[in-house]
Amino acid sequence: MPTAPTDSEYGTTLVPTVTPFSNGSVDAEAVADLAEFVLDEGADGLVPCGTTGEFASLTDEEYETVVQTSVDAADGAPVLPGAADTSVAGTLDRIDTAADCGADAVLIVLPYFHGANDPSGNERFLRAVLEETSLPIILYNIPSCVGQSIDADLVEAVADHPDLAGMKDTSGDLTHFLEIIRRTGDDFHLFQGWDSQLVPAVSMGATGGINAVSNYYPGLMSEAIDAAAENDMERGRDLQLNDIAPMFNTSLEYGFAPTTKSVLVERGVIDDDSVRPPLVELNDEQVATVRSLLDETIAAAE
């Protein structure tokens, strides 16, 4: 297994971008502004319409708008939209939309309502999608939302499929993450989605990260990945413990989309922090906490 990020056509620092709204509608101009901001600040690519992007609150038309706008704004940088759905047909429809927009790959999850009544069901689902997909696929393991984890046996069973590029793991289970690394080869791109485990994961051979905090700290996240890859563990430890972890823990408590949008407003990247129900915006006390953490991190970097 490698001890540094595997070379990847998608890069190592990918941003699961929020979906900005204005007057209740998707703000395409703000989608483009955010894409340009994170890429200018050091990100390698974009992951729109994921969990932080409130994909489950978007209509099909809005999904297409966000993906197309992201592809256009990326100007050639990789774009890997989420394509989550509860059925094979629905997942393939989302993949085809992303492909028509010019995306490079997609992230998919296991069905999140009808869970498999036998472990073989999850493999049948993934193979059915893989056999018909029009884009490379990255599995997205987020058991807190889906209700089940993509276990190591399943990953190993499908890892050699030519259209499976890798996995994002947001389980928060570092032991599980390392088991996936152990069972897959150098061509399998494994991204850490649990921000507070980014440096440990990369130091053990992960490709990089797809992290909510990178919406507003793309350069910092990229620096942390590079430090881990170069075995500069003093620098990596400092970034992980003092910069990444505090904001990640706050986002975990307050909600990733609301917190991220609040910080982006504070940074002047977007103008509107509104989210869609059942999410709610941060209250004044929470905004003050986020602002304090942001100020501390920016001051430390200067």
Which one-letter amino acid corresponds to residue 268?
A: G
Q: What are the residues whose beta carbons fall under 8 Å from the beta carbon of 19, sequence distance 6 or more?
A: 26, 31, 48, 49, 53, 54, 55, 58, 62, 66
From the CB of residue 232, how many other CB atoms can be counted at a distance below 10 Å?
16
Q: For residue 244, give the nearest of 287, 182, 202, 190 by alpha carbon.
A: 202
Measured in whole angstroms, the distance separating CA 130 from the mean position of its chain's CA atoms is: 20
CA distances from 157 to 226, 229, 230 (A): 31, 28, 31
Does residue 52 have a known ligand-binding role? yes
From CA 165, how far away is CA 145, in angstroms rounded?
22
Which residue's entry shows tokens 């507003």? 216
Which one-letter amino acid corresponds to residue 215?
A: N
Token pair of 112 as six digits: 């999140």
Does residue 95 have a known ligand-binding role? no
Among the listed residues 140, 216, 217, 254, the single catalytic one is 140
10 included as an active-site residue:
no
Q: What are the residues whose beta carbons fall under 8 Å from the beta carbon of 180, sequence distance 6 or more?
A: 152, 155, 167, 169, 190
* Kind plus residue range of the DSSP H or E element containing 139: strand 137-141
254 included as an active-site residue:
no
Among the listed residues 10, 63, 112, 168, the single catalytic one is 168
Taking the C-alpha atoms of 197, 71, 103 and 166 in order, what is their torsion angle to the nearest 10 degrees?
-10
* Kind plus residue range of the DSSP H or E element containing 164: strand 164-169
Q: What is the number of residues in the chain?
A: 302
Annotated binding site: 52, 210
Annotated binding site for pyruvate: 52, 210
The residues carrying an active-site annotation are: 140, 168
